[in-house]
């Protein structure tokens, strides 16, 4: 089955800095890569996703890049704000079952 | 958010008792999942369903069973709860090729 590795497990940045979270996957058949943000005590919510026929996608301060050859994808957050503090999960999905990374706790210091 | 409701939201039970968690969706999504979330482990798949009466095991299925008699309901049962099953349980759903949506979660404590 699919295996998703996510790094780092914790990321601490100053407000205004950029943050990068990286994930690798094992199954070359995976073709959909979403990112979820989970605030404390809340459900994970989709913030951005990318499909395997696209190399990069942006949405305001958030971007995701995908390298299919290397089987890795990354989340980039620019101009971080305190409200970006949360746990972020990457996932990979082939036919239908999504597999999640273990999560990255992002802390943005004011 | 998609119409996904989990019940109960919180439950405290004793070791050895049976527990059933319910996930109800109003989106007519085909696929439904139960995950457990524990610190340091992220979201781990317990069981999933790809249609009415069609279910299969995930990576941490021991001690859990599921049933799906209607499209909208996916039940997770702990036959005899153990302290290791103390966790936050999330239900999630999606349709073919579509995005995954999560319920609000159930905090289960087994004493």
d(CA A25, CA A47): 19
Name residue, tokens 């979820």. A36
B99:A103 CB<8 A: no
Q: Which residues of A touch B31 (CB under 8 A)?
A: 96
Name residue, tokens 């971080």. A80
Residue A35 sits at the chain B interface (C-beta within 8 Å) = no
Q: What is the pLDDT along chain A (110 residues), one digit of tens a residue?
A: 789 999 999 999 999 999 999 999 999 999 999 999 999 999 999 999 999 888 999 999 999 999 999 999 999 999 999 999 999 999 999 878 889 999 999 999 99
Q: What is the pLDDT of residues B10-66, one digit of tens each?
A: 999 999 999 999 999 999 999 999 999 998 888 999 999 999 999 999 999 999 999
Q: Which residues of B touch A93 (CB under 8 A)?
A: 100
CA A59 to the chain's CA centroid: 13
Q: Which residues of B touch A44 (CB under 8 A)?
A: 43, 90, 102
Cβ-based neighbours of A10, under 8 Å, separated by 6 or more: A104, A105, A107
């Amino acid at each position: 089955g699919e295996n998703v590795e996510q790094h780092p497990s914790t990321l601490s940045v100053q407000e205004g800095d950029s943050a990068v979270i990286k994930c690798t996957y094992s199954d070359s058949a995976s073709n959909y890569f979403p990112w979820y943000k989970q605030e404390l005590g809340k459900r994970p919510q989709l913030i951005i996703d990318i499909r395997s026929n696209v190399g990069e996608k942006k949405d305001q301060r958030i971007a995701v890049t995908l390298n299919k050859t290397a089987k890795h994808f990354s989340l980039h957050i620019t101009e971080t704000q305190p409200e970006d503090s949360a746990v972020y999960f990457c996932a990979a999905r082939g036919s239908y079952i999504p597999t999640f990374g273990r999560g990255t706790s992002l802390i943005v210091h004011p | 958010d998609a119409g996904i409701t989990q019940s109960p939201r919180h439950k405290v039970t004793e070791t050895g008792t049976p527990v059933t968690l319910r996930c109800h969706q109003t989106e007519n999504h085909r696929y439904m999942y139960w995950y457990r979330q524990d610190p340091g482990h992220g979201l781990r798949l317990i069981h999933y369903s790809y249609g009415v009466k069609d279910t299969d095991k995930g990576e941490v299925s021991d001690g859990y069973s599921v049933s799906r008699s209607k499209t909208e309901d996916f039940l997770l049962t702990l036959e005899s709860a153990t302290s290791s099953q103390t966790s936050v349980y999330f239900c999630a759903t999606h349709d073919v090729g579509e995005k995954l949506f999560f319920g609000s979660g159930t905090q289960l404590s087994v004493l």
